[in-house]
């Protein structure tokens, strides 16, 4: 292999598949997306998280150039416009819909052909995918006879049948039962292993937590957070929950314990619930707290350390905005 090609390959491998710079979208006075910048590395699974109406779908539509941004620049697969590389992108929109009268395999074939596949290979790929993801028996059925969940699986397959380098799935898990959710998770990991980059939006944090390398958290059109899942978790303090009738305030003196909070009792008859929350720094090993408790003769009836979940992060970062949005 000549060095030039090798070099260019290394370049693409390290460079980002998609980058947004200060992208805005306004509709009249309303700002749907406000100054979003991000960069998505090749081969990653990237989650767009945010409450309803946060601007996830608008951002995705701008990435695909279905709508044009009001300002800012987008670079996708090394091009300024998604239209130039549309055959290398796969897209599942938020609102799912298919041609009702078409046969399942023909539908997947059609969408693959729209992405530039030949008729024969599109057909072969449709049958291969239907078999692989457990839909072979429905291949000859008409789309209208499928259940909602099944239809959605078919739509996901039709979005990725042409093996795109970049897959964008808008709310792919909504409406799927737990079994099919894990089939979809499997499909996403398969694609990532295959070297494809997957972006998906969701407001169900468990999926993002299980799948994503990186997440983008947006609310009200603004970027709240952008980084790895671990970085996200680091944005909220780690906590240790204690239950003890003794006074545990002294634990505050341990290096790395930032705050000791007594949780008020729900029952006014009892003076103290004996529930305590300790916020600890990233560096502190929770075992050290346990050890200190023994040393100080604090009798514990409960000791609980939980890593913060992405759900906690979400609520912590955008909880208020999401609530506000819900009642707007």
Q: Which residues contact other proteins by CB under 8 A?
A: 61, 64, 66-68, 82-83, 86-87, 89, 91-102, 110-111, 113-115, 155, 158-159
Q: Min. distance of Cβ 179 from other proteins in angstroms? A: 25
Closest CA to 280 of 247, 244, 234, 318: 234
Least separation in angstroms between residue 180's CB and other proteins is 20
Judged by CB, which is closer to other proteins: 159, or 300?
Answer: 159
Give the 3-state secondary structure of residue 299: coil
Closest separation in Å from C-beta 95 to other proteins: 4
Closer Cβ to other proteins, 111 or 133, answer by number: 111
For helices 104-114 and 148-160, the axis angle rounded to 10 degrees is 30
Closest distance of CB 2 from other proteins, Å? 33
* Burial track 225-248 (b if 16+ CB lie within 10 A, e otherwise): bbeebeebbeebbbbbebbbeeeb
Residue 300: both structure tokens together: 């514990």
Nearer to other proteins, 61 or 207 (CB): 61
State whether the Cα torsion 147-148-152-158 is positive or negative. Answer: positive
158 vs 202, beta carbon nearer other proteins: 158
DSSP string, 183-213: HHHHHHHHHHHTT-EEEEEES-HHHHHHH-S
CB 133 within 8 A of CB 99: no
Write the CA distances from 138 to 151, 160, 163, 178, 207, integer angstroms. Answer: 10, 18, 22, 20, 27
Nearer to other proteins, 58 or 244 (CB): 58
Which residue number, 70 or 262, has a Cβ lying nearer to other proteins? 70
Shortest CB 148 distance to other proteins, Å: 13
Q: Closest approach of Cβ 197 to other proteins, in Å?
A: 16
């Amino acid at each position: 292999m000549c060095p030039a090609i090798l070099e260019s390959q290394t370049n693409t491998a390290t460079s980002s598949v998609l980058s947004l710079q200060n992208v805005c979208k306004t509709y009249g006075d309303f700002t749907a997306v406000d100054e979003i910048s991000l960069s998505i590395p090749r081969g990653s699974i990237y989650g767009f998280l945010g409450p309803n109406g946060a601007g996830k779908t608008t951002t995705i539509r701008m990435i695909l150039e279905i709508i044009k941004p009001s300002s800012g620049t987008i670079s996708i697969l090394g091009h300024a416009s998604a239209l130039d590389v549309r055959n290398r992108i796969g897209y599942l929109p938020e609102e799912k819909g298919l041609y009702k009268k078409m046969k399942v395999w023909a539908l997947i074939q059609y969408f693959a052909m729209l992405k530039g596949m030949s008729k024969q290979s599109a057909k072969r790929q449709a049958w291969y995918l239907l078999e692989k993801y457990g839909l072979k028996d429905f291949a000859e059925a008409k789309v209208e006879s499928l259940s909602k969940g099944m239809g959605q699986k078919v739509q996901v397959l039709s979005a990725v049948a042409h093996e795109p380098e970049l897959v964008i799935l808008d709310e792919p898990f909504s409406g799927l039962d737990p079994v099919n959710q894990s089939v979809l998770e499997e499909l996403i990991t398969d694609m990532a292993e295959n070297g494809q980059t997957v972006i998906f939006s969701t407001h169900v944090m468990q999926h993002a937590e299980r799948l994503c390398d990186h997440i983008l958290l947006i609310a009200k059109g603004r970027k709240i957070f952008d980084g790895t899942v671990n970085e996200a978790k680091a944005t909220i303090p780690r906590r240790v929950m204690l239950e003890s009738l003794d006074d545990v305030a002294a634990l505050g003196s341990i290096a790395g314990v930032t705050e000791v909070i007594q949780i008020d009792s729900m029952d006014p008859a009892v003076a103290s619930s004996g529930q305590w929350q300790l916020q600890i720094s990233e560096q502190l090993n929770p075992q050290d707290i346990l050890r200190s408790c023994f040393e100080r003769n604090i009798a514990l009836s409960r000791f609980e350390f939980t890593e913060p979940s992405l759900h906690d992060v979400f609520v912590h970062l955008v909880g208020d905005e999401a609530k506000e949005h819900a009642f707007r």
